[in-house]
Chains A and B, each alone.
Chain A
Amino acid sequence: MKQLVLALRAEIKVGFAKTVRYPVQTLTSVLVLYLLFVGVFYGSRSIAGVVNTPSADFARSATEAIAGYLLWFFALIAIDSMSQNISEEAQTGTLEQFYLAGWSFPLMLFLRFLSSILTSLVMLIPLLLLLSLSTGVALELRFVDTLPVVGLTILGLCGFGYLLGAVTLLFKRIGNAMTLVQFGLLFLCLPPVEQFSGPLKLIALTLPLTQGVKLLRRVLAPGSEIIGAGDFLLLILNSAAYLLVGIAVFRWAERLARDRGLLGQY
């Protein structure tokens, strides 16, 4: 256990070192994420013709969008640390060393995902402040309610990351496909899922984010009610399913990659 903590410490330290060492890149990322939100949120309102709505409606709509955006941000981290990272490390020639650490591959990836979540706070905090300031919405971050929802959703996203990681192990350069997944997720989790219909609704409902976004919107909404046990259980089931299936698929892909000699570019 102690060795695992040391390994996590190593990942966190490297994550922070990279973030702090390249401040321009970090600031640019925050700015791009902010502008993307502004573009998507105000753009969709403009298209829907609901720019001039009463302030209460706007606050609710903005809070919902921020909740979706926050979890989408964590989905980006999952994709980045568990899929694109594998591809990058295979190309730069460090994947072999990552593997030589001797921990199980999924466990090492989980540590990296965890450290990425923690180091991403450097970007997330100013981003939330910017979003709050520009929309005029004061987010009620009630940690007792928010953290379990975010935490469980992140676990589901971790499973989703394993699924994408499995694809990366087998097919290597899938950067463009991952970009497509990222934006697909954004457009599926910003608007309330209840507004979708047909196959789009079905797709949205099966995403690892959907249940989390739904509950987080409820938690963050001004004067919100307590989440029901049923909803919470659904979130647990959704995340557990993604995590378990993700790990199983990743392990299968790892075995296949080892058998075919696909691990690492070396």
Chain B
Amino acid sequence: METAISVHKLRKEFRGRGKSIVAVDDIDFTLRRGEILGFLGPNGAGKTTTIKMLCGLVKPTSGSLLIGGIDPAANPRKAMRKLGAVLEGSRNTYWRLTVDENLEYFAYSRGRVSSDFRHRRDRLLTTLGLAEKRTELVQKLSRGMQQKVALGCALIPDPEILLLDEPTLGLDLQSSQAIQQEIKRLADQEGKSILLTTHQMEIAHALSTHVAIMNRGRIVVQDKVKNLLDVFSLGMYTIRVYGWLPAEERTWLEARWGAELDHDESGTTLRVPLTDARQLYLIIEILERHKLLISNIQRLEPNLGEIYLKLIEEGPVEATRFGA
């Protein structure tokens, strides 16, 4: 698959007055065409510095980065043409201009005005739900609308790669979902490669095809979301039955299977960690023996948030544990 962003041994060290801070410590990661890479990590992990280096705002101390196969240090104009960004903490747009004027400015200032510019702008306004607001000043729009304008401005020059830093931060549920749908559509239908930074794990989980988790300047893990979920799968099942098990069986289940049992008025809930799903039949056999009706069986899956916390707390994980 075509590589959109390739980072190798990238390092940024801030030096000053005898002190040296390593913000980014020899990281490697790749973003491929059409992928959404969730770039995650706690505050101060080095994500922002990495994004700044990708945008050309910070000069790397060492290492290499390629944007669409182009080295931005050697050919910034060509590299930046492939990049669009909505950066957190920035307005990203000119509030004293209208929505239309902003889109026009960002297209023209990048010299990206094709003959179908008007058509493209109109289509973008419609897609983002901004068509009715096009003549309004950005400063008068709601936060959600302003964020959509920022996304529109990043998209109007038709970049191949998008850097989205907390694109849904501070938005209401409706606006957040609208932005999320648009991000998904951009990757799935338009083949845009997206580097998504967020602290909202449910959004990272819902949107990302891959994740890279950073902590203390290093990438703790980079893998497909699916692979991570598989590796961290707990193999934990919950079984809800009507009625109660005899004390002897309870003790045996706890000792043999490490099960946890909760009783209440209407029945029992078993939580059993199983290494093989076939072991369920043995549990069911015991329940059947005591004529306990099963009302529900569920496999508990970890979510990205839990995996993230585990990785951040445990530190770097060997890459060999994960699939490519």
Chain A interface residues (CB < 8 Å from chain B): 2-4, 6-7, 9-11, 13-14, 17-18, 21-22, 92-94, 96-104, 255, 258-261, 263-266
By the criterion CB–CB under 8 Å, are B97 and A100 in contact? Answer: no
Q: How far is it, in angstroms, between the C-alpha of A10 and the C-alpha of B85 when the chains are bound?
A: 19
Chain B residues contacting A22 (CB-CB under 8 Å) are: 96
Chain B residues contacting A260 (CB-CB under 8 Å) are: 14, 16
**Residue B211 lies at the interface, judged by CB distance under 8 Å to chain A:** no
**Size range of the chain B interface in the assembly:** 35 or more
Name the distance in Å between B124's Cβ and chain A's nearest Cβ: 17
Name the distance in Å between B11's Cβ and chain A's nearest Cβ: 13
By the criterion CB–CB under 8 Å, are A4 and B85 in contact? Answer: no
Name the distance in Å between B279's Cβ and chain A's nearest Cβ: 52
Chain B residues contacting A93 (CB-CB under 8 Å) are: 87, 89-92
Quick one: CB contact mask for B9-39 with A, threshold 8 Å, 1 for yes? 0001010100000010000000000000000
Chain B interface residues (CB < 8 Å from chain A): 12, 14, 16, 23, 48-49, 52, 55-59, 76-81, 83-85, 87-97, 101, 104-113, 153
Chain B binding surface SS class: mixed
By the criterion CB–CB under 8 Å, are A9 and B110 in contact? Answer: no
By the criterion CB–CB under 8 Å, are B111 and A7 in contact? Answer: yes
Name the distance in Å between A213's Cβ and chain B's nearest Cβ: 33
Chain A binding surface SS class: helix
Chain B residues contacting A263 (CB-CB under 8 Å) are: 52, 57-58
Q: How far is it, in angstroms, between the C-alpha of A266 and the C-alpha of B92 when the chains are bound?
A: 10
By the criterion CB–CB under 8 Å, are B14 and A94 in contact? Answer: no
Name the distance in Å between A140's Cβ and chain B's nearest Cβ: 38
Q: How far is it, in angstroms, between the C-alpha of A101 and the C-alpha of B108 when the chains are bound?
A: 10
Q: Tell which of B23, B88, B97, B109 touches A101, judged by Cβ atoms closer than 8 Å.
A: B109
Name the distance in Å between A4's Cβ and chain B's nearest Cβ: 7
By the criterion CB–CB under 8 Å, are B48 and A103 in contact? Answer: no
By the criterion CB–CB under 8 Å, are A102 and B79 in contact? Answer: yes
